[in-house]
Structure 1
Amino acid sequence: MRVGMTMFFQNYADWDRYEAKERGGNAPDIDPQSDITRYEEELDTALAAEDQGWDSLWTVEHHISPYTMIPNPVQLLSFIAGATSRIDVGTMVVVLPWHHPLRVAEDITTLQYQLRGRTPYIGFGRGAARREFRQLGFEMGESRERFDEAIQVVQLALTQESFSFHGKHYDFENVTMRPRPKNPQALIGNFHFSWGSPSSAPVGARYGLKPLIIPQRAWAEYHADLEEFARARAEAGHAPARPRIHMNVFCGETEQEAEEGARRYIPQYADSARRNYELDSDHFRSTKGYEHYAAQSTSLRGTGDAAKAMGEAYLANHVWGTPEQCIEKMRGIAAAFHPEEFMLVMRYGDMPRDVAAKSTDLFAREVLPAVQAVPLEEPIVYGAAASI
């Protein structure tokens, strides 16, 4: 089993100031040093991952808010490629509707060169944060059709010396991308798709992308999503594929230490996600293609305390405990889903550097080797896919 570390670079403590400013209230300007310090500290942590034995480094794409301060995941991974020698890299995700698809194909081809034989795992997604779409100048309700067109353009640019494509949003005539990828099928074979709503699961699957789970709901609910994902892949002629799974982790030497840390910091991450995506807002009701989010927001508002409800859900889903407890939980998830890899974020919320370092070092020493020793299982063949 492969185990990677995910870079998030959150500035959770800035949310109150940021939201007050966004509402037009009287709030101070950003303290740039808070971003600088967090960025430098997290880069140091990432660069230590190779020596600790992690298999890969992953990162995300977000803009504007303190949620995660990584606007260009491929750029960050290009730095990692040059600063390391063994570790693979991945995106979770590149949000295709925010990019010109030819530029995406160029960027990941260049990353393939920079890795010098190592593997880039490229995850794609549609995006779900209203403020990011708005400030980047894109219509959120167009995200599904933009994604559909963009992923086709990326695949054509990588596999065809010259290609043409004529869609609603993108138009190309006899275009050649340079440099040509070293191994286009290796790139495409490691394309993944992450989804938030169950109806979105087949969107990437029908283009041959593999599943990448960033859990926002109870684990049991993802089997239905994966069945639909597998069905769409099978209908398009693709074999069953193992998922890759992202989680937050907090590892403590004692049960008390682990629980105290998890109950402080994991709900902060959940709260940051709630605020970034405005998950308890009713704006999804009027946004095409986000019907699941509209239902979710109604449900969250119905709890009377959306932040608390999300915090409890994340505590139930993610991994925390002593090393032995972390191993047991990850083995259980592996047995349930037969994943290819876990990608774990070790610092989130307002977790201080020393707290994150202690948890990460303990995990790397005592949990990482045990989870890496978990044998890979064959992909689960769900009923809908098996019948095709």
Structure 2
Amino acid sequence: MTLEELADPVQEDVIMHVGYGAVFQNPGNALPDAEVYRNELRLAEMAEPLGFDSIWSVEHHFDDYTMCPDVLQFLAYMAGRTSHVKLGSGVVVLPWHDPIRVAEQVSLLDHVSNGRVILGLGRGLARIEYDGFRLDQNEGRNLFVEYAELVLNALENGYMEGGRFTRQPRREIRPRPARSFKGRTYAAAVSPESMPIMAKLGVGLLVIPQKPWDAVKKDFGVYHKVWREVNGTTPIPKPISGGFCVVDENKDRAEELAMKWIAANYHTVMKHYEMTSPEFGTKKSYEFYSNVGKFIKKTGADAAARDFAMLMPWGTPDQVLEKCAFIRDTIDANGVMFNFSFGGMPYEDAERSIKCFAKYVLPELKKWNTEPLVDPAPIASSAAAR
């Protein structure tokens, strides 16, 4: 398939949103954490000059899997190091936080970045993290739903109050939110049971490819149905798709690097989430994940890692564009967010991949016809103060 066949007719100012993800992995503690941070920050600071539209990271704790315990703090740093890229949390794991602090931190970040925040939320899965925060993972979904409702309402109304778990006395959010988060809030959803929840919350979906695309498409059918039932004619947000990307002009080298390092990344996933443990997927509202553990047990960890790698956008620039087009067409995405440094990949390989993507793939993605991400609408100061 040619580049011309992949692109739709160009419309001015209507382009695919392309984000850069930083994950701060240190598999096996092979490097000093300080060295990981020096390199990952250096790569992240290349994103804006290279033409990426946003910079993202994800919250994780307590091991070498992803060493970004405070994604909003990282994004505040990047706000000061950049001028116009959007700043995405992919995700803030709500059950691990006090919701009123999350609302305050998000409002502050949006003020200091002049409205550049894309808010991504999630509920978390790893036992090491729930146990580390002394939380009952069986309540993970209930905590997520309550905290999400509290945070989203606070960011619109300027105050937080209530909650069965939270019992928050009414308090103002200061600085008061200046811009609405409607249309620029997303949530990670993997299990089918999460789709109605996200639709009822009125948030878009962050998709990290990790199961067959036919199953993802089926999940979206549920999400769209519930959205229309709950939100009526309010437009359904288009999703943003993440992923792990390797791109190289040499086809064989691209495949070698992708299969080595994306597979290595999935081995860190299996380790962090204890996917082969008998306890994986046994907590309340996490039962779906037991199927993942059964699949890995049946196929073996190496085969599961290869399957994961095959879902990702890697290859030559033309191959990556073709895979991006497949993702766009399958879930009607208007944005992608790719990680380029992961699994212990040498930083010189990651940097070469990023630059190759920026030179050959990014300009073509920006020709694709899709709806832009929502620009934040101002909130009247009187409304926020009520």
TM-score (normalizing by structure 1): 0.88
Matched ranges for 1:114-125 at <5 A? 114-117=112-115, 119-125=116-122
Q: Which amino acid aligns with 1:67?
A: Y
Matched ranges for 1:239-278 at <5 A? 239-278=235-274
Secondary structure, counterpart of 1:173 in structure 2: strand
Unaligned runs of 5+ in 2: 1-15, 374-386
Question: Which string of whole-angstrom CA distances, capped at 9 and with x for unpartnered residues, describes residues 194-231 of structure 1?
Answer: 12211112222211011110111012210111111222
Deviation at 1:359, TM superposition (A): 1.0
Deviation at 1:308, TM superposition (A): 1.0
Is the 1:193–1:205 contact (alpha carbons within 8 Å) kept by the matching residues of 2? no
Instruction: Give the corresponding residue for 2:58.
Output: 60
Is the 1:282–1:298 contact (alpha carbons within 8 Å) kept by the matching residues of 2? no
Matched ranges for 1:11-50 at <5 A? 11-14=26-29, 34-50=32-48
Is the 1:207–1:236 contact (alpha carbons within 8 Å) kept by the matching residues of 2? no
Instruction: Give the corresponding residue for 2:128.
Output: 131
Q: Which amino acid aligns with 1:148?
A: V
Q: Which amino acid aligns with 2:20?
A: M
Secondary structure, counterpart of 2:144 in structure 1: helix
Is the 2:247–2:254 contact (alpha carbons within 8 Å) kept by the matching residues of 1? yes
Is 1:345 aligned to residue 339 of structure 2?
Answer: yes
Is 1:373 aligned to residue 361 of structure 2?
Answer: no
CA 1:164–1:298 in 2, change beyond 3 Å: closer, same or farther? same
Instruction: Give the corresponding residue for 2:282.
Output: 286
Instruction: Give the corresponding residue for 1:75.
Output: 73
Deviation at 1:68, TM superposition (A): 0.5
CA 1:199–1:102 in 2, change beyond 3 Å: closer, same or farther? same
Instruction: Give the corresponding residue for 2:313.
Output: 319
Deviation at 1:161, TM superposition (A): 4.2
Secondary structure, counterpart of 1:5 in structure 2: strand
Deviation at 1:378, TM superposition (A): 10
Secondary structure, counterpart of 2:244 in structure 1: strand
Counterpart CA distance in 1 for 2:78 and 2:322 is 31
Aligned counterpart for 2:146 among listed residues 143, 146, 149 = 149
Report runs of 4+ in structure 1 exceeding 6 Å deviation: none
Is the 1:331–1:374 contact (alpha carbons within 8 Å) kept by the matching residues of 2? no
Q: Which amino acid aligns with 2:27?
A: Y
Instruction: Give the corresponding residue for 1:88.
Output: 86
Unaligned runs of 5+ in 1: 15-30, 380-388
Is the 2:274–2:280 contact (alpha carbons within 8 Å) kept by the matching residues of 1? no
Secondary structure, counterpart of 2:226 in structure 1: helix
Deviation at 1:286, TM superposition (A): 3.3
Secondary structure, counterpart of 2:121 in structure 1: strand
Counterpart CA distance in 2 for 1:322 and 1:240 is 33
Give me the CA root mean square deviation: 1.6
Instruction: Give the corresponding residue for 1:5.
Output: 20
Q: Which amino acid aligns with 1:332?
A: F
Instruction: Give the corresponding residue for 1:170.
Output: 166
> Which gives a bigger RCO, structure 1 or 2 (Cα 8 Å, sep 6+)?
2
CA 1:166–1:261 in 2, change beyond 3 Å: closer, same or farther? closer
Counterpart CA distance in 1 for 2:331 and 2:367 is 16
Is the 1:126–1:195 contact (alpha carbons within 8 Å) kept by the matching residues of 2? no
Is 1:235 aligned to residue 240 of structure 2?
Answer: no
Aligned counterpart for 1:298 among listed residues 294, 301, 326 = 294
Deviation at 1:162, TM superposition (A): 4.5
Q: Which amino acid aligns with 2:278?
A: D
Deviation at 1:134, TM superposition (A): 0.3
Q: Which amino acid aligns with 1:5?
A: Y
Instruction: Give the corresponding residue for 2:324.
Output: 330
Secondary structure, counterpart of 2:245 in structure 1: strand
Question: Which string of whole-angstrom CA distances, capped at 9 and with x for unpartnered residues, describes residues 254-291 of structure 1?
Answer: 11110110111010111111111111222135311111
Counterpart CA distance in 1 for 2:108 and 2:204 is 22
Counterpart CA distance in 2 for 1:137 and 1:128 is 14
Q: Which amino acid aligns with 1:368?
A: L
